[in-house]
Amino acid sequence: MMRIAPVVLSLLLIVCALALVTSQYRARELFAGLEVSQHEAKSLEAEGSRLRSDLGRASQPAIVEAAARRLGMRAINPERIIILPTSAADTAKAAFAPGKE
């Protein structure tokens, strides 16, 4: 028994040492992967903010207005607005001229 123990223990030690090396290696590999992904996430975020900014620029009211005019659209004129009451209560409210406070 006392003869086998050192052999078994040294084998165990070797196995442990190899496992340690492997796990260290794996950890570093994964870390490198994490770094790459984080970098990617950052550049995607930057791309996203660029696109949002472009969208903001494209949807500027000045541009929208110019496009609407090209299409022959006009701004809503309050004189052309007709209010449609939806219920009896609303009808009553609408009938009461909002001019009187």
Partner 1 sequence: MSLSALRPQARLRPATRGAGLRTVQGNATRAARDASRHGDLLAVKLSAWRSKLLLFTLFSAFAALSVRVVYLQGGWSTGFLQRQGEARYARTLPETPTRGTIFDRNGVVLASSVPARAIWANPEDFEADAKQRAQLARLLELSPEELRRRIANEDRSFVYLRRQLDPDVAQRVEALHISGVHTAQEFRRQYPEGVVTSHLLGFTGFTKVGEHGLEGVEREFETMLGGQPGLRHLIADRLGHTIEDDWLHEPVQAQDIALAIDDRIQYIAHTAVKQAAEANAAHAAAAVVLDARTGELLALANWPDFDPSRRKQFDPNQVRDRAVTDTFEPGSTLKPFSVAAAIESGVVRPDTIIDTAPGRLTITGRTITDDHPRGALTVEQVVAKSSNVGTAKIALQMPAQALWETLSAVGFGQVPQAALSGAVPGHLRPASTWRPVEQATIAYGYGISVSLLQLAHAYLVFARDGDIVPVSVLRTESAQTPTRVLSTQTTVKMRRMLELATSDEGTAPLARIPGYRVAGKTGTARKLRDGRYTDAYVSSFVGFAPVSDPHIVVAVMIDEPRAGRYYGGDVAAPVFGAIAAGTLRALQIPPDSPATQVAQATANGG
Shorter beta-carbon distance to partner 1: residue 3 or 86 = 86
Integer CA distances (angstroms), 55 to 52, 58, 77, 96, in order: 5, 5, 28, 44
Nearest distance, CB of residue 87 and partner 1, angstroms: 8
| SS3 label, residue 59 | coil
CA distance 65 to 78: 18
Among 21, 23, 60, 73, binds partner 1 (CB under 8 A): 60
Size of the site for partner 1 (CB under 8 A): 40
Note the residues at the interface with partner 1 (CB under 8 A): 28, 31-32, 35, 43, 45-47, 49-50, 52-57, 59-62, 65, 75-79, 81-86, 88, 91, 94-95, 97-99, 101
